[in-house]
Amino acid sequence: MGRSPCCEKAHTNKGAWTKEEDEKLISYIKAHGEGCWRSLPKAAGLLRCGKSCRLRWINYLRPDLKRGNFTAEEDELIIKLHSLLGNKWSLIAGRLPGRTDNEIKNYWNTHIKRKLLSRGLDPQTHRPIDVPGRDPFPSTPKQQDTSMADQDATTMKMAQAARVSSDGGYLDLDLNLDLTISLPYHSSLQLPS
């Protein structure tokens, strides 16, 4: 059966947030902390659903959010991490302190895609769209495999160069993308009889 939808209730605001609503949400969270988002609106005196309050806080009102335009370093880091991780916006946001996954996704779709296309790179594969002088249909499969391997090695070198710290500076970042799921290991020690 599951939960009932949070926004079917009558008498809830669904439009833009007002300054007064923002102030109520901020002061409530400062006093009580983040908690049960379903009960927060009533306790804070807001005519909003819990999901709306949660998203407003996470994406716009948190004090640790970075405001303003993305820097050139952030652009390049997003591009490099996207070449490694794809559209895993929350993982990318984890390497850009103060930026939200939603903000990065929107910025990717409105700005960075165009930037990559202007550089002649495919935004999904990060490979050249059209390289002058290169045969788009190589005669032997070996030629194509070698060029793909070279491009993959270049992509990995670029990704390894992307290192950022919590203060925005660069440092070594060890990304282990070899994820596996397995049962926990239990050693079977046999006691002597």
Q: Where are the domains positioned within the chain?
A: 19-61, 72-161
Could you please state the CATH topology (level 3) that the domain comprising 19-61 is classified under: Arc Repressor Mutant, subunit A (1.10.10)
Q: Higher pLDDT residue, 24 or 139?
A: 24
One-letter amino acid at 110 equals T
Q: Please tell me the pTM assigned to this model.
A: 0.58
Q: Higher pLDDT residue, 73 or 171?
A: 73
Q: Per residue in 57-67, pLDDT tens?
A: 998 999 999 98
> Which CATH class for the 72-161 domain?
mainly alpha
Query: How buried is 157 (Cβ within 10 angstroms: 0-12 exposed, 13-18 middle, 19+ buried)?
Result: exposed
Q: Higher pLDDT residue, 158 or 16?
A: 16
Cβ–Cβ under 8 Å, residues 80 and 99: no
**pLDDT above 90 for 31:** yes
Q: How much is the mean pLDDT over the chain?
A: 77
